[in-house]
């Protein structure tokens, strides 16, 4: 069934509009309480990032959940993976995250974790949606939920992060710049890395409710690059607003994205005989990573874009490592969701064990050039466009020319009326030409169908 309210990662939008209003969020809390609660004594955790709107949405969720008879445990500012962890260890029925991740402060969102600290199954989200369409009611007064504050939430999560590497391992003598994006890790990440012995220069660690992700964090990596070079640090760690993404910078200022980090962790585990199966990537995982992993005898399988799909495939394959270029890295043998701090610790542990720098650990992986062109499809359906015989023929011819050294990917945008044409290969001029040929055919089909010019952009 098609979901009415939930997207691939919860519910997200601009504060005060659409579904991100106090009225809707209160009803969402009530509906979630009806589905996820199991009678008197049910417990749901609520955590948030540092957006000013978090106060508003937290109160609305609390009212709805209490009206449904569910007790609330408030975590305050807490990274998304920290909420997943605490949901498990505090034996809650669910955990709720108030965050819009890497988006600006004017956006916010709600997402849920199950009692196992994993994204909710589709059938549970659909059950919440069915309750949302019912009139809201309130349980009898003696059945109303209560609200509690968890005062040691940050400390619990800090200790968990440190437990994912050997307690005997020390990073004394290592100088790190840690960019917290003025987000949910501001009071956690610097402590984690200092407590394992590193010298830490923290930036993006002064949230004011409005500056989350503003010119800092994993989506504005240039700030970290400059600081690493200025401080002559060994490396830099960039997290996003809710702490589930990781991008790194080496001592020379070079950027390592999620694919680079996946390569380092996978090769580390292979060398130490602890890699469980292969690696799960997404449709956007660079072909160069697939090639480099295969050179080491490591399989890579792809799934749709989104960490929920990576997790699902890891569970099917019974593997432990997956991620995407944006920096969502899942180490399933350590935790249940993408976690920027824990992923960074795995890389630091390999630096410690191998004696090699971050720059050196990337040796053996050559990122392939990638070109993406966006073609407006107008009123023509994405499936009709991609199934057109002339498009299929152009794709087949491009794949023949690449001869297994690259790939062609056509996919519809999930938010705009666009077809994205992506090509990868070792020869940038070749993939530029091939991508243009395919895009031109799509443009012509749309123009013929609508009697007006279509547009293709790089």
DSSP for 396-428?
A: HHHHHHHTTSSEEEEEE-SSSSEEEEEEE-S-H
Which three-class secondary structure state does DSSP give residue 262?
A: helix
Is 456 in the active site? no
| Pairing state between β 43-48 and 94-98 | parallel
Beta bridge mates, 376:
418
Separation between Cα atoms, residue 422 and residue 431, nearest integer Å: 9
Q: Which of 101, 114, 268, 320 is catalytic?
A: 101
Phi, psi of 300, deg, nearest 5:
-125, 130
Helix (H) or strand (E) holding 348: helix 340-354
Residues 6+ apart with CB under 8 A from 36: 42, 44, 70, 93, 94, 112, 124, 128
Cβ of 180: how many Cβ atoms within 10 Å? 30
CB contact at 8 A, 275 and 251: no
CB contact at 8 A, 204 and 223: yes
205's tokens = 């660690």
Q: Which residues are catalytic?
A: 101
């Amino acid at each position: 069934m098609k979901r009415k309210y939930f997207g691939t990662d919860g519910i997200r939008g601009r504060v005060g509009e659409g579904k991100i209003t106090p009225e809707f969020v209160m009803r969402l809390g009530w509906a979630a309480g009806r589905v996820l609660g199991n009678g008197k004594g049910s417990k749901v955790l609520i955590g948030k990032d540092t957006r000013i709107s978090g106060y508003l949405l937290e109160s609305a969720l609390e009212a709805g959940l209490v009206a449904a008879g569910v007790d609330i445990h408030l975590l305050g500012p807490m990274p998304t993976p920290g909420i997943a962890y605490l949901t498990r260890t505090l034996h809650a029925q669910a955990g709720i995250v108030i965050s819009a991740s890497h988006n600006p402060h004017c956006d916010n969102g709600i997402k849920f974790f199950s009692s196992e600290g994993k994204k909710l199954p589709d059938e549970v989200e659909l059950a919440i949606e069915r309750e949302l369409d019912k009139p809201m009611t309130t349980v009898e007064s003696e059945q109303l939920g209560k609200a509690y504050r968890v005062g040691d939430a940050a400390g619990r999560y800090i200790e968990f992060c440190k437990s994912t590497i050997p307690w005997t391992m020390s990073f004394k003598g290592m100088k790190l710049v840690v960019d917290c994006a003025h987000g949910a890790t501001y009071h956690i990440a610097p402590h984690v890395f200092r407590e394992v012995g590193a010298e830490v220069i923290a930036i993006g660690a002064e949230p004011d409710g409005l500056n989350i992700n503003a010119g800092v964090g994993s989506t504005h990596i240039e700030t970290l690059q400059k600081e690493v070079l200025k401080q002559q640090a060994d490396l830099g760690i960039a997290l996003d607003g809710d702490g589930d993404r990781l991008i790194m910078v080496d001592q020379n200022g070079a950027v390592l994205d999620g694919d680079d980090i996946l390569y380092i962790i996978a090769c580390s585990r292979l060398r130490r005989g602890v890699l469980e199966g292969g690696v799960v990537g997404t449709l956007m995982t660079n072909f160069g990573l697939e090639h480099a992993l295969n050179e080491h005898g490591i399989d890579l399988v792809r799934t749709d874009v989104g960490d929920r799909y990576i997790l699902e495939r890891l569970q099917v394959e019974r593997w432990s490592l997956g991620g995407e270029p944006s920096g969502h890295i899942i180490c399933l043998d350590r935790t249940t969701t993408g976690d920027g701090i824990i992923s960074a610790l795995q890389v630091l542990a390999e630096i410690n064990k191998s004696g090699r720098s971050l720059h050196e650990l990337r040796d053996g992986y050559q990122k392939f050039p990638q070109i993406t062109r966006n073609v407006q499809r107008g009123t023509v359906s994405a499936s009709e466009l991609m199934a057109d015989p002339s498009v299929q023929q152009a794709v087949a011819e491009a794949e023949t020319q690449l001869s297994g050294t690259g790939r062609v990917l056509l996919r519809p945008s999930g938010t705009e009326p666009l077809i994205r044409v992506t090509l990868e290969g070792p020869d940038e001029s070749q993939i530029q030409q091939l991508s243009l040929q395919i895009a031109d055919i799509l443009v012509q089909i749309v123009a013929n169908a609508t009697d007006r010019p279509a547009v293709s952009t790089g």
